[in-house]
């Protein structure tokens, strides 16, 4: 059994899964006048595709919180899991502490990634409060767009070009209404976990 996380926050990645030039090439868009708008579509469709697949495409720092120590195996949200930066907690004096890495094991191979308490781990007493446990980690396929599976990169390009062509619609509606995009990302859909 695992506990569901109570909240999650994500930093924007340093790069996106597609470039403006790739979207222009895919959509046969000429000129540089609307490059900023295309960049906005790339960011927007990337977020929608990540939400539809429950995945992180490009490496980013993610923070998930729990109100108490999760028991059993923790399935880390927004895979793939690259690494665990820290597991912090508010102790009985309400001071933020960092749990020793020897207290847990990390599985970055499984999808989604997992954290399991070490056999000899004794978890400290927590302050009774919301967000008492804070797990910070890196999720994504890699630091470069080329590490993202080609189908997901192509989906971002296709959806961004489609949004550019049909600017009167909301980004989420365009992505979900485009059968080519939904077919490209279907194989990567991950049930929500945490």
Residue 60 exposure: Cα atoms within 13 Å on the Cβ side:
24
Mean pLDDT of 103-110: 97
pLDDT for 3 equals 46
Among 50, 76, 112, which Cα is nearest to 194's? 76
What is the DSSP track for 136-173? EEEESS-SSGGGS-HHHHHHHHHHHHHHHHTTTS-HHH
Short-list 55, 108, 119, 60, CA closest to 81: 108
pLDDT of residue 71: 85
φ and ψ at residue 115, rounded to 5 degrees = -125, 135
Cα–Cα distance between 19 and 139 in angstroms, integer?
A: 20
- The candidate with the shortest Cα–Cα distance to 5, out of 122, 131, 116, 96, is 131
- pLDDT above 90 as % of the chain: 62
Q: How far apart are CA 112 and CA 194, in angstroms?
A: 9
Does the structure show a pLDDT above 50 at 1? no
Task: Kindly report, residue by residue over 8-67, the tens digit of the pLDDT.
Answer: 777 888 899 999 999 999 999 988 888 899 999 999 899 989 988 999 999 999 999 999
Over residues 116-145, mean pLDDT: 94
């Amino acid at each position: 059994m695992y506990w569901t996380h109570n909240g999650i926050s994500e930093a924007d990645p340093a790069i996106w899964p597609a470039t403006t030039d790739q979207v222009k090439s895919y959509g046969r868009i000429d000129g540089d006048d609307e490059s900023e708008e295309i960049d906005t579509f790339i960011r927007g469709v990337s977020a929608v595709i990540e939400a539809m697949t429950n995945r992180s495409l490009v490496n980013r720092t993610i923070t998930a919180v729990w109100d108490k120590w999760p028991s059993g195996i923790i399935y880390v949200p927004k895979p793939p899991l690259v690494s665990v930066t820290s597991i912090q907690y508010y102790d009985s004096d309400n001071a933020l502490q960092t749990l020793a890495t020897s207290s847990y094991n990390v599985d970055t191979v499984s999808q989604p990634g997992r954290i399991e308490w070490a056999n000899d781990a004794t978890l400290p007493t927590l302050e009774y409060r919301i967000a008492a446990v804070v797990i910070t980690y890196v999720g994504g396929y890699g630091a470069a767009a080329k590490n993202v599976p080609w189908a997901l990169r192509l989906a971002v390009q296709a959806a961004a070009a489609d949004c550019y062509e049909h600017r009167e619609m909301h980004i989420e509606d365009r992505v979900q209404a485009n059968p080519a995009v939904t077919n490209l990302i279907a194989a990567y859909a991950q049930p929500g976990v945490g």
